[in-house]
Chains A and B, each alone.
Chain A
Amino acid sequence: MFRAPVWLVFIVGLFMASAFFIPVDPFPMMQTWALKWDVIISAFALAVGIDSLVMHHIRRVQRRQNVLYSGTLLVGFWVTIAWGAFAWWRYGGPFATRSTFLWLFRYIVVPMDATMFSLLAFFIASAAYRAFRARNFSSSLLLLSAGIVMLGRVPFGDWAAAPIFVAFALLLAFYFLRVFRQYEGWGRSTRMVVGILFLAVGIILLWPIGMGGQLFPAFRFVVHSVPHLASWIMEVPQMAARRGIDLGISLGSLAFALRVLVGIERGYMR
């Protein structure tokens, strides 16, 4: 029962893979044809999808479930279709220069789209507040690099970075020296050493006078270094990690595609 679709997948997949290597007819054409067929099939599938959407919400309204939301969708759907059809008849197209349909797009769709995208700012703040806790070494590293990059990429983040570093250093020194519980498997002596190191960092950052009478030399050094450190983090370790993940993704998708091609992977079909 599974044979025909699996063989079809194998033959078509092999043909399309060959087209990558063979630049003579009919192989290059087949890729373009496949793209065009994809567009045509998507258009028909869209009709099926719209039917699914509309019937889903009509049934909800009939069952008195979320009548407000489903009703709003249905009203909006039909108003948009009617208005677009009117614009075709009257102006030659919904996006023609003098079309009133543009009002719908410019003053309803565009602000809603921009609003949804803007929500990300709020969500990033709450997600960062929740997630960036120094529970163990890995999450501490994540926290540190995120803080440095966030502060190093904005105009006066570097000035804000130094006092935050001081506060963090003192906090961590206090934590390591005072807490008598385990920090993810670290022994007491290790914690003492790390705590003293952080205390030293905090004191050095707050040291008022440097060589040659310079004020707060370590503080200024941090202010100067943070943007460069942020750029370095983005250009070196971030790029390395991303390339590693990309390598894994490429191989993973290759292996998955081969599994689909030879018919071992059939979970996506019935």
Chain B
Amino acid sequence: MRFLYLLTTIDRRIIYGLVFLATTLPFLFKKSPSVQITPEVEKVYRFIDKLPPGSRIVLSADYGPSSMPEIQPMLYGICKHAFSRGHKVYLLTHWNYQGLIAGQDGIMSAVRDFNEEIKKGKHPERTDTLLEGTDYVSWGFRPGGMAVMLLLNSDIRMAFSRDVRGQLLDSLPAMQGFRNLRDLGTVENPRGILIGLEAGFTGDVWVIYGQAQGRYPMALGSTAVVTPSYYTYLEAGQIIGILGGLKGAAEYEQLAGFKGQASIGMLSQSIVHILVVVLIFLGNLGFFLARRK
């Protein structure tokens, strides 16, 4: 019966140890389960897939290090998908230095991995590796939030005259013919898309100030906690689709045909969820049996 009592009072350090094992072991084995694709993620994937090659994907990295595990795989997956379709990627952020560094790290790792794949011959349609300024551009950060979004609707160069490396935007081949966000076209005639990767509520500002004025195609990727608040925009038709949390990132990776951090993370997440429920069960088991005394 002492065992039953112990079941109700498992030391929290044991619980922490079990959670640590459950979280880290899947990353060692690198196994990943397949996930059920939801329509919101599939819409984003199909939209980017159907864009004519050479279209423009603008990514707004509005998150910080604490949200990187959830959102970085989205950025990575979208970049790789875009590069494989021959699209150009443009990166900006509204979160000073945090978003800048997170976004830069994400896009650089996607570029590095894609270039490795090109060298291995996995993309026979491409002969050259990805070049900054030609295939992707980082605009960087500029304070202002709403004001920057409105400036981007009229002229990108008014908000960002140089990229994050200090090069004039006009000197970059990827920026030729890209004057403002209206050049992304419309949902009926798309020539690109803007995807906001959000950890907070900057997505609301993007939809209200950016998309509502510019009428360009837009989608959102966000942490699982704030995703429910963005569903209203999805229902209103203001955004194409939404990638919610690590699961959304895993779904996108599955659609794009590779297993990344999100997919491996889903195994970890599954095991931890099951562990928590098992712990709850054990706690209740001990609770009931102890109450009997």
Contacts and interface: CB of A to CB of B under 8 A. Distances in A.
Contacts of A22: none
Interface string B253-291: 000000000000011011011111111110111011001
A113 B292 contact: no
A202 interface: no
Interface stretch (B33-41, B84-92, B112-120): B33-41
Interface string B1-31: 0000000001010011011100100000000
B127 interface: no
Contact of B15 (A105, A126, A172): A126
Contacts of A218: none
A78 interface: no
Nearest to A149: B273
A167 B269 contact: no
Contact of B287 (A109, A118, A134, A164): A134
A129 B280 contact: yes
B176 interface: no
Given A125-B15, A128-B279, A105 B287 contact: no
Contacts of A128: 276, 279-280
A133 to B, nearest CB: 5
Contacts of A150: 273, 276-277
A116 interface: yes
A143 B20 CA distance: 23
B165 A97 contact: yes
Interface stretch (A11-19, A151-159, A185-193, A250-258): A151-159
A134 B283 CA distance: 10
Task: Give the residue among B20, B96, B165, B278 with the most A Cβ atoms within 10 A.
Answer: B278
A113 B66 contact: yes
A171 B270 contact: no
Task: Give the residue among A109, A125, A146 with the most B Cβ atoms within 10 A.
Answer: A125
A132 B8 CA distance: 11
Contacts of B285: 171
A264 to B, nearest CB: 32
A240 interface: no
A155 to B, nearest CB: 4
Interface stretch (A46-54, A174-182, A204-212): A174-182
Contacts of B276: 124-125, 128-129, 150
B284 A171 contact: yes
B273 to A, nearest CB: 5
A121 B283 contact: no
Given A121-B272, A122-B16, A133-B283, A178 B101 contact: no
A217 interface: no
B271 to A, nearest CB: 9
Interface in A99-134: 102, 105-106, 109-111, 113-114, 116-118, 121-122, 124-126, 128-130, 132-134
A160 interface: yes
A62 B247 CA distance: 51
A238 to B, nearest CB: 9
Contacts of B35: 155
A179 B292 contact: yes
Nearest to B35: A155
A133 B166 CA distance: 58
B68 interface: yes
Task: Give the residue among A117, A126, A155 with the most B Cβ atoms within 10 A.
Answer: A155
Given A133-B287, A151-B274, A153-B273, A113 B20 contact: no
B164 interface: yes
A106 to B, nearest CB: 6
A154 B273 contact: yes
Contact of A105 (B66, B101, B165, B275): B101
B133 interface: no
A113 B102 CA distance: 12
B36 A227 contact: yes
B273 A109 contact: no
Task: Give the residue among B15, B33, B272, B277 with the most A Cβ atoms within 10 A.
Answer: B277
Contacts of A126: 12, 15-16
Given A114-B65, A126-B12, A171-B281, 14 more contacts: A97-B165, A105-B101, A113-B65, A113-B66, A114-B66, A122-B19, A125-B276, A133-B284, A134-B287, A150-B277, A154-B270, A155-B36, A157-B273, A171-B285
25 contacts: A102-B101, A110-B101, A113-B64, A113-B65, A116-B66, A125-B272, A128-B276, A128-B279, A128-B280, A129-B279, A132-B283, A134-B287, A150-B273, A151-B273, A151-B277, A154-B247, A155-B34, A155-B270, A160-B277, A161-B277, A164-B281, A168-B281, A168-B284, A171-B288, A234-B228
5 A-B pairs closest in CB distance: A117-B66, A155-B33, A154-B270, A110-B65, A113-B65
